A and B are shown apart, each in its own frame.
Chain A
Amino acid sequence: MRGKRSYAFVVCLVAAACSRAPEGESGAAPEGAKLTIQNSGSDTMVNLAQAWAEEYAGIEPSVSVEVSGGGSGTGIAALINGTVDIANSSRKLEPEEFASAQQANGAAPQEHIVGYDALAVYVHKDNPLESATLEQLADIYGEGGAITKWSEVGVKNAACPTDEIIRVSRQSNSGTYFYFREAILGKSRDFKLGSRDLHGSKDVVELVAGTPCAIGYSGMGYATPGVKALKIARKAGEEAYAPTVSTTLANTYPIARPLYLYTAGTPSEHVAKYIEWLYSERAQKIVEESGYVPLPKTPSPPATTPEGR
């Protein structure tokens, strides 16, 4: 019996050793030959940043961009700690964050808007609901809001026998959570307790796709065939708009936000070059291909320092 146990252990060890091997090989490459750009932050932007990094590797082989997610707050914290060159953020820097970044790095952080994200409100594909107003969303999601059943928004959701609206949300400090809360509830109101707070944009869409009673919000790039994005109207009686590139740029879709990059002060040369490339036609095409909204076709806006915040 002991023998078998240790045999299993050896098998595990061997498996682990084999799976490690390729890592070791890549680690053997000469160090210092490549400049690296450390890039982390917003989960919303991680797929986009990854796609940019892969494309850029073909354009500028001497620079490697290393992308990781973790959330806007994580990226900004890393920027303050000086462990990344670029922080991706799907929200604006808070004044306190701005101050501590300035203090830690000795220079005011620079802000770059690289695209826009429309937050789509998703329901299950069999849900007959087509559109909603911001007020309805506030009543569904907001603390003290009265809507808890699908019949209260005027649909008979046949796939959902209990009629209960299952609210799907995000963990309470993701950039998406903050933005959605501010967009539908205003600065100071809170969400209703009891929502399913998932840990990633993708998970939200997955859960909604598997749950006929559910409603959830996530970047419009995360749409799958299993879910339906609602058209959103600012007020009852006004026209409702679907989350698309044109409605976002025309500012008619009400739940859209800029995507930011932050650097600590003036970026070093290779980082600046990378950021400049992000405004190129090819890079903006990738924004569109990833499901986000590219910048309108104007000369690339200069880096700004968010003053007065």
Chain B
Amino acid sequence: MTGWRRLEVLTEPVIEGAIRISGISAIIFVFGIFFFVFREGAGFLFNHLDWREFLLSPEWYPTSVANKRYGILALIAGTGSVTVLAMLIAVPFGLGAAVFVSEFCGPRLKEIVKVVVELLAAIPSVVWGFIGLKVMNRLIIVLFDAPVGLTLLNGSIILALMSVPIIVSISEDALKAVPDSFREAAMAMGATRWQVVYRVLLPAAKNGLLAAVLLGVGRAVGETMAVLMATGHAVKIPTSLLDSVRTLTATIASELGESPVGSEHYQVLFVIGVLLFTITFTVNLTADLVVRGVRRS
């Protein structure tokens, strides 16, 4: 018995240390990744980068022989437009599904819907991209008489389908966290079920719902493979839903593999990586602060 106790006394600090390291490792990894991405791009970032051209010019000619131009305005516009449109589609669907699952449907149906939504999250992004390239392309050409189906619309629909599961599960959790006493009180006042949702639950869960939407945005900004295949990957500032676009992530994915290590092109791609990191970091931080707001209230 005492031997056992002694062993515990000895192993306890070791286990505690191991757990502490695993906890801290996440922080180390995040900073490590940021440091790495930043270091690879730093040479260009501080010495050669013309910020005005970089952010304000839509001309992306990284492999030109005579006149290299690194303008990412069209890529920012691509990422921005795909994300916004995807959210316009995904947020109503996601929130609607969450409200339905948590408030309106019976327990059996609820189980089915939840499992299917989780299944949606398990589909790999290349498969989504494939659907965009093969199925949606032809569908959009036929339905809209478009010259080509690899468009902003195509990418946004694919991206919306990919973000919906995140939005549904997080907002459903947020709705479930609203105490039943709120619902009961509203019912007792004679509110209809819709009034309960609209007047009581949505305001009470609004921080959680906002966090769900922001995490969906983070997913949409960061997604690469599916949008690479579905949007057409054309450097162009979109003027209609049926224009092809190109996103920041897709540009990195398609060009980094073949740009010579250490070249200007390589470094610019890492500067784009820093930009993306900053965007997703901001979005996630906002989501986190919002969720914290929920806990406090």
Contact = CB atoms under 8 A, between A and B. Distances in A.
B234 interface: yes
B60 interface: yes
A185 B137 CA distance: 30
A268 interface: no
Interface stretch (A19-27, A52-60, A69-77, A245-253): A69-77
A144 interface: no
Contacts of A177: 63
Interface in A94-149: 96-97
A34 interface: no
A213 B137 CA distance: 13
Contacts of B255: 171-173
Given A1-B111, A70-B257, A173-B259, A198 B66 contact: no
B145 A194 contact: no
B74 interface: yes
A164 interface: yes
A188 B66 contact: yes
Interface of A: 1, 4-5, 8, 12, 70-74, 77, 96-97, 160-162, 164, 166, 171-174, 177-178, 187-190, 193-199, 203, 206-207, 210-214
B65 A187 contact: yes
B114 A193 contact: no
Interface of B: 58-67, 74, 111, 114-115, 118, 122, 133, 137-138, 141, 145-150, 228-229, 232-236, 244, 246, 254-255, 257-261, 265
Given A77-B258, A196-B234, A199-B254, 13 more contacts: A166-B148, A173-B63, A187-B66, A188-B66, A193-B58, A194-B236, A196-B233, A196-B244, A197-B246, A207-B133, A211-B141, A213-B148, A214-B148
Nearest to B64: A190
B258 A71 contact: yes
A188 B65 contact: yes
A193 B65 CA distance: 15
B137 A210 contact: yes
A188 to B, nearest CB: 4
Contact of B260 (A77, A161, A195, A210): A77
Nearest to A1: B111
A189 B64 CA distance: 8
Given A171-B254, A211-B148, A194 B66 contact: no
Contacts of A207: 133, 137, 148, 150
Given A188-B66, A213-B147, A197 B261 contact: no
A40 to B, nearest CB: 11
A164 B259 CA distance: 32
Given A77-B261, A174-B258, A211-B147, A5 B234 contact: no
B55 to A, nearest CB: 17
A198 B65 contact: no
B147 A166 contact: yes
Contacts of A203: 133
A173 B263 CA distance: 13
Contacts of A187: 65-66
A296 to B, nearest CB: 31
Nearest to A193: B235
Top 8 A-B pairs, shortest CB-CB distance: A188-B66, A73-B258, A213-B147, A173-B258, A171-B254, A194-B236, A196-B232, A193-B235
B211 to A, nearest CB: 21
A188 B150 CA distance: 29
Contacts of A171: 233, 254-255, 258
A160 B147 contact: yes
A191 to B, nearest CB: 8
Q: Of A97, A172, A189, which is in contact with the most chain B CB atoms at under 10 Å from its CB?
A: A172
Contact of B63 (A162, A172, A195): A172
A4 B115 contact: yes
A269 to B, nearest CB: 31
Q: Of A12, A96, A177, A199, which is in contact with the most chain B CB atoms at under 10 Å from its CB?
A: A199
A57 to B, nearest CB: 28
A124 to B, nearest CB: 11
Given A195-B234, A207-B137, A190 B259 contact: no
Contacts of B115: 4, 8
A197 B233 contact: yes
Contacts of A166: 147-148
Contacts of A172: 62-63, 255
Nearest to A73: B258
Given A77-B260, A196-B234, A199-B228, A8 B145 contact: no
A176 to B, nearest CB: 11
A107 B60 CA distance: 36
Given A188-B65, A190-B66, A206 B260 contact: no
17 contacts: A5-B118, A73-B260, A96-B260, A97-B260, A187-B65, A188-B67, A190-B67, A193-B61, A197-B234, A197-B235, A197-B254, A206-B133, A207-B133, A207-B137, A210-B138, A213-B148, A214-B148
